[in-house]
Amino acid sequence: MNRSLTIALGIMLTVVLSMAGLVLIPNWQFREMQQHKDDDGNLWPVQLEGAEALGRAEYVSLGCVYCHTQQVRPPNYGADLDRGWGFRRTVPRDYLFDKPHLLGTMRTGPDLANIGARQPSRDWHMLHLYDPVITSPGSTMPPHRFLFEKVAPSDRAPERAIRLPDDSGWILPSARAESLFAYLRSLDKSYELPEAPQ
């Protein structure tokens, strides 16, 4: 009888300590975290609003999170910094306003934590979304042509349209494509934080 009581108490203690260490304490630490004010008075990270917030929802609905991560690992855990995927490792403060967080688990495609800094061009992003092989030969990312309207070739460009490289016409991004671009452009963690200097 004493032995089963000891085992039961041991199991309960293990569960309680695990929950405290893995859930309660990190949650408490994260709740106390605030935006960082830099020397110029800017607050980091910035909360997404408007088109960027809509684009984040689009990113989730299209399943981008299944193939892309948004976390730059420290040098001893991978070559993210050597690949130019970031200027510093990401830290918990970077995800202050992410609910739910979109860290991702697989890297079928490259990390996107700093894609807004690495690739700020609207045309590049739109062509990549329309047909990834245009900008990244050999890409396994599926094309998202349904986010665009293809317009016949002409000398005069429709407003906001992007010319296809093979001169087969223009693509006109939908509001969904524009908001997704706004979100991708906002992914820029190049600001300095006290816990992760560059």
Q: For 72-83, what is each residue's pLDDT tens digit? A: 988 888 888 888
- pLDDT (average), residues 79-93: 88
Q: For 119-171, what is each residue's pLDDT tens digit? A: 999 999 999 999 999 999 999 999 999 999 998 887 777 888 999 998 888 99
Q: Is the pLDDT of residue 70 over 90?
A: yes
Q: What CA–CA distance (Å, rounded) separates 20 from 16?
A: 6
The contacts of residue 170 (CB under 8 Å, 6+ apart) are: 150, 151, 152, 153, 154, 157, 158, 161, 162, 163, 164
Which has the higher per-residue pLDDT, 182 or 98?
182
Question: CA Rg, the chain, in Å?
Answer: 22
pLDDT given for residue 1 in this prediction: 62
Q: Is the pLDDT of residue 57 over 90?
A: yes
Is 148:171 a contact under the CB 8 Å cutoff?
yes
Helices 51-61 and 175-186: crossing angle in degrees, nearest 10, is 100
Q: Spell out the domain ranges in the chain.
A: 1-32, 37-186
pLDDT given for residue 114 in this prediction: 94
Q: Is the pLDDT of residue 84 over 80?
A: yes
- pLDDT (average), residues 5-15: 94
So what's the architecture of 37-186 in CATH? Orthogonal Bundle (1.10)
Q: Categorize the per-residue pLDDT at 115 as very low, low, confident or very high, splitting at 50, 70 and 90.
A: very high
pLDDT given for residue 64 in this prediction: 94
